[in-house]
């Protein structure tokens, strides 16, 4: 795939098939209402397929299937080694269908197919493999007690886990939730974003092929205000894992209180700062990664480094480097390996981004981009855009834009840089660029975020937790820590004759 041409990818895209029905209890089914909605390619405006528009009735069926599967133990009480073997097979099936999975996400939400093929789809396989390998390596505990007492502390699956995932990384976000929840022994009901349900539906089919029993992994496409709300309010859902906007994350917290007090694990918005200090010797590397940090995936990344704080002594020179990189990263057909950015997910998101850009023209200095463009007269594309000399209280520097828009703010001192970085309702991630080890550690300690990347951006792995602080939510994906939200601690106390 790495040597595919634009024509190769277009040819393969023309041959791909779409799973468009809900996947409930091991089979594809129409929505109970019979309704469908259009899945639209944002790069062309063309309708890819009509997808089942599920609502509360379908959520009821999926949750009931998940509950039956959990209670009869077909997965929840399967031997750890056997569950491990199934998820390892799923990882291999994702790898065997890598090209298809990459195309589904590229066509559905506009990301570069080369990114989907080299980052997203392989990442999904890796995360399933990683959690599969963890299944038989997570141990329970024996508490210290006196003679005649044996106290066992075990982690047990919760039951039915609801997962609501966003459109920016459709396959990966579905995997981040499902891999850990399934590894822990739960049943899963996944509601993918309505803008990008296709890879999740194919993932469910692959999971069934790998040996995940019927009813254990269900995918119910639909809209947030119907299917998503029904999942959040359902009295038989034990846990709800959510990635998306802060506003909707708060809604799910409300739904928990209105229903059965289900656990809710929100991973929500971000406005991540990137601090460039004058003692960073390799400013070209810093500029390369700063551009990646905001323009990768069209800026549609919750942890995108959208606030760039630069020491005033090097600010002008650094801005020139950023302009050059923005000019070299113009959007194009997502299926063209030569394209540097893809399409924005839909018309609504595109208009929202351009609203910020138009307002910013009046308050800051636009130095790069700022235009909506088309490819062959079609599509939702926005140029990589940079505003310089942005006031710290400008919406450009405060609000989550979720697009390729960078705000540059100068600072005079380390204290000022840290204070501005922390002055945000969000606390998901941050980056720090310095060759002073003491400064790197000192600033990292002071930043109020879930992940600090030093001399890189947006560092993550299966081994480390991903999530934030403040209104970025408190849910954690990845690492063994994510298993904690899909399990409960259970104590079994045994009295015996000593």
* 267 classed as catalytic: yes
Q: How far is residue 416 from each of residues 67, 363, 421, measured CA to CA in Å?
A: 53, 22, 8
Burial class (CB in 10 A: 0-12, 13-18, 19+), 486: buried
Of the residues 205, 267, 300, 400, only one is catalytic, namely 267
Contact between 156 and 488 (Cβ < 8 Å): yes
Contact between 432 and 280 (Cβ < 8 Å): no
- Residue burial 190-207, b: 16+ Cβ < 10 Å; e: rest: bbbbbbbbbbbbbbbbbb
CA dihedral 331, 401, 162, 204 (to 10 degrees): 0
Asked whether the CA dihedral 25, 26, 31, 37 is positive or negative, the reply is positive
Q: How far apart are CA 231 and CA 191, in angstroms?
A: 8
Q: How far apart are CA 279 and CA 274, in angstroms?
A: 15
Q: How far apart are CA 242 and CA 483, in angstroms?
A: 15
Q: How far apart are CA 460 and CA 441, in angstroms?
A: 18
- Rg, Å, the chain Cα set: 23
**Phi, psi (5° rounding) for residue 19?**
-90, 120
Contact between 188 and 177 (Cβ < 8 Å): yes
Sole residue written with tokens 């039951």 = 159
Of the residues 239, 302, 380, 400, only one is catalytic, namely 302
Bridge partners (DSSP) listed for residue 50: 38
Structural tokens at position 384: 């990589």
Catalytic residues: 267, 302
């Amino acid at each position: 795939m790495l040597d595919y041409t634009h024509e190769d990818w277009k040819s393969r895209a023309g041959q791909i098939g779409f799973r468009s029905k809900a996947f409930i209890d091991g089979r594809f089914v129409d929505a109970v209402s019979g309704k469908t909605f259009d899945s639209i390619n944002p790069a062309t405006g063309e309708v890819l397929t009509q997808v089942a528009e599920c609502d509360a009735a379908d959520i009821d069926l999926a949750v009931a299937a998940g509950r039956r599967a959990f209670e009869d133990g077909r997965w929840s009480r399967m031997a750890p080694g056997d569950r491990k073997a199934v998820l390892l097979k799923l990882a291999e099936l994702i790898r065997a269908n890598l090209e298809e999975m990459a195309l589904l996400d590229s066509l559905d939400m506009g990301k570069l197919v080369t990114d989907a093929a080299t980052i997203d789809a392989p990442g999904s396989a890796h995360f399933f493999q990683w959690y599969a390998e963890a299944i038989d390596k997570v141990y329970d505990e024996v508490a210290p007690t006196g003679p005649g007492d044996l106290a066992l502390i075990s982690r047990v699956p919760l039951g039915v886990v609801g997962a609501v995932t966003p459109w920016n990384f459709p396959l990966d976000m579905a995997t981040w939730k499902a891999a850990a929840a399934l590894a822990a022994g739960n049943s899963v009901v996944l509601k993918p974003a309505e803008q990008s349900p296709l890879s999740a539906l194919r993932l469910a089919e692959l999971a069934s092929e790998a040996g995940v029993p019927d009813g254990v992994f269900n995918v119910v496409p639909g809209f947030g205000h119907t299917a998503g709300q029904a999942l959040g309010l359902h009295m038989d859902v034990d846990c709800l894992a959510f990635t998306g906007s802060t506003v909707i994350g708060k809604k799910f917290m409300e739904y928990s209180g209105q229903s059965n007090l289900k656990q809710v694990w929100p991973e929500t918005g971000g406005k991540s700062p990137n601090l460039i200090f004058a003692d960073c010797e390799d400013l070209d590397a810093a500029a390369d990664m700063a551009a990646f940090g905001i323009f990768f995936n069209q800026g549609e990344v919750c942890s995108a480094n959208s606030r760039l704080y630069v020491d005033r002594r090097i600010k002008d020179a650094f801005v020139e480097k950023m302009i050059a990189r923005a000019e070299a990263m113009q959007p194009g057909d997502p299926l063209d390996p030569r394209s540097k950015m893809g399409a924005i997910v839909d018309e609504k998101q595109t208009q929202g981004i351009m609203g910020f850009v138009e307002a910013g023209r009046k308050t800051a200095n636009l130095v790069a981009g700022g235009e909506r463009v088309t490819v062959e007269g079609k599509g939702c594309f926005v140029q990589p855009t940079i505003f310089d000399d942005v006031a710290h209280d400008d919406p450009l520097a405060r609000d989550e834009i979720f697009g390729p828009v960078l705000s540059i703010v100068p600072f005079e001192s380390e204290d000022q840089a840290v204070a501005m970085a922390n002055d945000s309702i969000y606390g998901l991630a941050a980056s720090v660029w310095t060759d002073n080890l003491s400064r790197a550690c000192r600033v990292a300690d002071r930043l109020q975020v879930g992940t600090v990347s030093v001399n890189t951006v947006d560092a993550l792995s299966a081994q480390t937790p991903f999530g934030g602080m403040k209104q970025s939510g408190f849910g954690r994906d990845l690492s063994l820590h994510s298993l904690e939200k899909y399990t409960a601690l259970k104590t079994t106390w045994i009295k015996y004759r000593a």
